[in-house]
Structure formats: C-alpha cells, structure tokens
DNA sequence: GTGCATGCAAATCTTTTGCACTCTT
DNA sequence: AAGAGTGCAAAAGATTTGCATGCAC
C-alpha cells in the first residue's frame, strides 16, 4: 500500500511522529478514497476495525494536521459536519482541487482542469494576495438520480 | 428603499407573514450588502438599533427562510459560523454567485461572469441532475495586505 | 378567530481545550 | 530521557427544537 508510505514519509519530513492514531485515520481515508467522510464516520470505521484504534478527539486532531500537510482536503457541505478526503492520488499525481459532490451519497468526482487561473492572475495584479480557491459543483450523481 | 419592498413582495408571494423579525433581519442585510454577516453579528446590529427587534433564535429561523427563498446566500468560512449576504441587487439584476472573500476582513467582491456553465452542461449530458455550483476565491484583499 | 411566527429555555451537534499519562524518537 | 501525542472529560460555539404565547392575516 503505497499511499500509507506517503503519509509516513510526509509526517517524518515534518518531524511529526508516526503513531497508531495517525496510521488509523490515514488507513480509513485511503480505503475510502472515493468518498469524503466526516470525523465521526472515520471514528466509527476505526471502531469497527479489529486492528485500528484511535480516540474520537484524536481523529479531529489528526485530520487537522493532515489538512495542514495537504494530505487531505476538507469539504463543507451546508448544515453538516465537515468531510475529509485523501488528496494524494495513488499515482502521486498532484491533487486536483475541483470536484462534483453528490448531495445524496456524498460521492465526489474530479471535474477536470482548473478554470480559475486567469481570474486569480487578474486579482493578483489588483493587489490581492494569498489567493486560494475552491470550486464546488453539487447535485445528484447518475446513481442517485431516480 | 426598494429592496425591503422586494423582501415583502416575495414573502407575500409565498404566503409567509411580514413580521417585525423578518423586517429587522432584512434591514440589516440590506444596510450591509457588501459584507456577509454571521447570525450573531446580525443579532448584535439589531440589538444596537433603536427601532429594530428580533430574538436571536428568530435570526436563525429567518435566515433559513430567506435562504430557501433565494433572498440571501450562505457563505461558509472554514472553522467559523456561517455568513449570510443579501442576494438581490438594488437594481434587481440577477444574483451573481461567484465572489472573492477576504480571509481577514470578510469583505466580499463579485468576480465576474460564471465560468462553470460549460462544465455543468457536460455533467448533465452524463446524467447528473439538480446541479448547483459554488465558487470561492479567498485570500487577502488589497486593504488587508500589509 | 386561526394558526403561523415568536421568545425563551433547553437540547443537540460539532469541534476545541486542559491536563495527566503514554509512547515515539 | 524528552516532549510530542493521546485519551478522557469537560468546555465552547453554533444551530436546532419544544412549547406556550403573541401577532399577522
């Protein structure tokens, strides 16, 4: 399992420790790379597992660290707990930030190339700095369409 | 004040009552059309005002209704309370959904024409339905750049 | 008058924090 | 051995709900 190694490598690089909790959260995220999970769902998965263990609070702490390291991305669905999804591909290709999110099954699908680069360049010329962007397209995926 | 009339009109159209609370929240949103406010900030504004009144819980209930009616939009900033901003312009031009949001002062600025229409059409051909989208560009605005 | 909307209190849900203890390094 | 990380409990913050009362229609 290449991706878990990637997690370990990046943790080491940042002088962060490789612990049971961090490996547990990483494993769940890797196993469910197609769907963003809430901290609670991740915690439940870990509890159901025989060989993984992590406290619920540590799930939050771990996700926060993974987010800072760019290993996961955080998705906010309106009126719900935040959802996290692994952001390194199994081919170590760069993370693509733009997704379609299904309102019903929470399935997430990459959308293609970024279409905001021009907009950001224009803003930078005007004096805007530290630009980040987030594009969200939501709706019902083909499987959830009745 | 044209916009308040628009709020009243749309409430009436949906057989919802025109109440003190709803008018108070609408007024604050209209007065602060350039900045999205949290429910608490809206509540504080109302409390500071002499002639407006609304309970804090009713601010939440009212915002939820206004959102359903398309009168306001909800912005989620990571790790913070949701922010709401009026989504009808003073010229009754259609609401433009894409903004730059300043991380520091929460100033919000429209970005220009929508660049996702093509993407949405492509998805619809594939069987996706009920599509909505939300684009967020964040960073520091010129005023907040040191 | 009818019943939608409100105010208040309390519950709920998510996330964060404090602190003593544990385990990685 | 040092101190980063954890587990537990409890706090904090945002939002929702229940219910009796009030107000728009």
Q: Which fold has domain A96-146?
A: Dna Ligase; domain 1 (3.30.1490)
User: How distant is C1' of D16 from CA of A124, in Å?
Assistant: 41
**CATH number of the structural domain B1-90:** 1.10.10.10
As a dihedral over the C-alpha atoms of residue B58, residue B61, residue B67, residue B71, rounded to 10 degrees, the angle is -30
Question: From the CB of residue B139, how many other CB atoms can be counted at a distance below 10 Å?
Answer: 20
Cβ atoms A111, B119 nearer than 8 A? yes
pLDDT digits (tens, 9 = 90+) for A9-52: 999 989 999 999 999 999 999 998 877 899 999 999 999 998 99
**Is B94 an 8 Å CB contact of chain A?**
no
User: How distant is C1' of D23 from CA of B19, in Å?
Assistant: 9
**Is A114 an 8 Å CB contact of chain B?**
no
| Residue B12: CB less than 7 A from any atom in strand C | no
User: How distant is C1' of C2 from CA of B16, in Å?
Assistant: 15
What is the sign of the dihedral through the CA atoms of A42, A44, A49 and A53? positive
| Residue A137: CB less than 7 A from any atom in strand C | no
B100 to A115: CB separation less than 8 angstroms, yes or no: no
CA–CA dist B90, B86 (Å, integer): 10
Chain A residues lying within 8 Å of B74, measured CB to CB: 78
Question: From the CB of residue A63, how many other CB atoms can be counted at a distance below 10 Å?
Answer: 21
For residue A23, give how far its alpha carbon lies from the nearest alpha carbon of chain B (Å).
25
- What are the pLDDT tens digits along chain B (146 aa)? 588 999 999 999 999 999 999 999 999 999 988 788 999 999 999 999 999 999 999 999 999 999 988 899 887 766 678 889 888 754 444 445 677 766 666 666 767 656 666 677 777 777 777 777 767 777 777 766 66
Question: From the CB of residue A127, how many other CB atoms can be counted at a distance below 10 Å?
Answer: 11
Structural domain boundaries of chain A?
A: 1-90, 96-146
Length of chain A: 146
Q: Which of A58-67, A72-81, B31-40, B66-75 has the lowest mean pLDDT?
A: A72-81
CA–CA dist B135, B121 (Å, integer): 17
């Amino acid at each position: 399992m290449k991706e878990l190694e990637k997690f370990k490598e990046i943790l080491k690089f940042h002088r962060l420790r490789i612990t049971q909790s961090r490996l547990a959260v990483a494993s769940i995220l890797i196993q469910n790379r197609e769907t963003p999970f809430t901290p609670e769902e991740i915690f439940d998965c870990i509890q159901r597992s025989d060989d993984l263990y992590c406290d619920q609070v540590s799930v939050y702490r771990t996700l926060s660290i993974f987010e800072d390291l760019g290993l996961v991305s955080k998705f906010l669905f309106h009126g719900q707990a935040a959802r996290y999804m692994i952001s390194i591909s199994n081919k170590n290709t760069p993370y693509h930030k733009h997704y379609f999110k299904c309102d019903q099954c929470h399935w997430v699908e990459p959308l293609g190339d970024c279409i905001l680069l021009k907009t950001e360049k224009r803003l930078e010329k005007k004096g805007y700095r530290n630009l980040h962007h987030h594009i969200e397209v939501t709706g019902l995926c083909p499987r959830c369409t009745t």
